[in-house]
Structure formats: structure tokens, C-alpha cells
Amino acid sequence: MMKTGFSKLKIIFLIILIVVGVFIFYRQNSLEQVAQARAQSYAVSSWNGDYMLLARLVSGEARGEPYLGQVGVAAVILNRAKHPKFPPTVAGVIFQPGAFESVSNGQIWATYPSRSNFNAARDALNGWDPTYGSLYFWNPYKWVSPWIWTRRIVTQIGRHVFGR
């Protein structure tokens, strides 16, 4: 008689243990899914922020340039963000003091980017780099620091020279 009561107690305990185990398993998976969703959401919002900043910089720095030159300007920003000599974010590169005339003079905020500017930013974010890894661009028809001419010229697109 004592054995059957003890066996029933074991069975009830095992059932409770299984139910708790299943609950913990699904709860853990749910938390991991939430963490993954948050990470993806951050990546998308980060991409969106980079997209808008790049489009604004392209508008300020490459206004009047051919589309390829606009993509090139955006690509230089992304190349810098990947390079150890520069800040590791798009915003860090763009707002590095004295780095870009359109930031220094406020042109980055003066006009809303055109469709072409947005497309150029998107294409650069998606990996297109017509500058072959350049870290600098400048307009040789405007005054620039003589230092920039010590950079190795990679290509010229429109009125911009791109170099490393």
C-alpha cells in the first residue's frame, strides 16, 4: 500500500518536473528571440540613421556631381568608418571636426537630400565603392590643404579626386 502511494507521488513529481522543464525551455527560447529581434531592430535603425546622414553629406559635398561621384562620396565615409585611423561609425566620421566643409558650414542641414542623394547613400551602404577603397576626396579646383596632395590618387569622378 505504501508502494502505490509512493509511486503515484513519483509520477506526479515527474509530471510537474516535465511541465516546469518545458516552460523553462520555451521561456528561454522566447527570451532569445526577443534579444535577436532587438538586435535586428537596432541594426535596421542604425542603418536608417546612417542612410539619412550619408544622404545629407552627399547632398552637401557632391551637389552637382554625377551619380557615380555621389556614390563615391558616400563610399569614402563608409571606408573611413572601417579604417582604424578614423572613428568607427558613420556619424563619427561625418562629424569629425574639420573633416567636411558641408558640416563645417552647415550645408549638411541646409537642404533636404534629393532622390539621387538617397540612392547614392543606399548603393554605398549596399557595398558599391567606385573609389576602390579611397579614404579621401577633394575638389582640385578649390583651395585644399597641400597635405591632401600627398595622398595617392586612385581615381577622379566628376570634379572630385579620390585617394588613399
pLDDT in tens, 46-92: 557 899 999 999 999 999 999 999 999 999 999 999 999 999 999 99
Average pLDDT, whole number, for the chain? 87
The fraction of the chain above a pLDDT of 70, given in percent, is 82
Question: How far apart, in whole angstroms, are the C-alpha atoms of residue 78 and residue 130?
Answer: 12
Confidence of residue 152 (pLDDT cuts 50, 70, 90): very high
Domains of the chain: 46-163 (1.10.10.2520)
Burial track 26-54 (b if 16+ CB lie within 10 A, e otherwise): eeeeeeeeeeeeeeeeeeeeeeeebbebb
Mean local confidence (pLDDT), 13-22: 84
Q: How open is the CA angle 124-98-56, to the nearest 5 degrees?
A: 35
Mean local confidence (pLDDT), 121-139: 97
Q: Which of 50, 64, 57 is nearest to 157 (CA)?
A: 64
pLDDT of residue 84: 96
pLDDT of residue 43: 44
